[in-house]
Amino acid sequence: MVSIERRSEKSFRLIVENGYDENGKRDRKKKSTRIEDPKILKSKRKLQEYLEDQLDRFRIEVEAGEYIAPEKSTVESFAVQRNGSKRNSLIKMESLAD
């Protein structure tokens, strides 16, 4: 099942149901999208067509297993991933602060 929720005047949430997890909870993938084009926002038909197109693309991405949900991370963990080790990352972060 797929759905679209309006979050604000220009922001929408796309939702794709991806079955159930091992605990019996629904596995729902969500993605927010912003529409900045005033031509699309003024016309209900164009807005609906645009959102349905985005929803179809998102659904295909989820079903193909290509969707990677964003995760919260700290600056330190990002620096470690980027630079390879915690020590090098901290040295580089300290030098940037100076």
Could you list the residue range(s) of the whole structural domain that residue 90 is in? 71-98
Q: How far apart are CA 27 and CA 18, in angstroms?
A: 5
**Contact status, residue 27 vs residue 19, Cβ threshold 8 Å:** yes
Instruction: Kindly state whether residues 6 and 37 are assigned to the same domain.
Output: yes
Could you tell me if 77 and 58 lie in one domain? no
The model scores a pTM over 0.85: no
Residues 43 and 16 in one domain: yes
Residue 1 CB contacts under 8 Å (≥ 6 apart), including other chains? 16, 17
Other beta carbons less than 10 A from residue 14's beta carbon: 22
**Together in a domain, 48 and 92:** no
Whether 45 and 80 share a structural domain = no
The set of residues, in sequence order, having a beta carbon less than 8 Å from that of 73 and lying 6+ positions away, is none
Give the count of domains, the chain.
2
Per-residue model confidence (pLDDT) at position 6? 96
* Judgement on whether residues 52 and 77 belong to the same structural domain of the protein: no
Averaged pLDDT in 10-residue chunks for the chain of 98 residues: 94 94 92 95 96 96 86 76 61 57
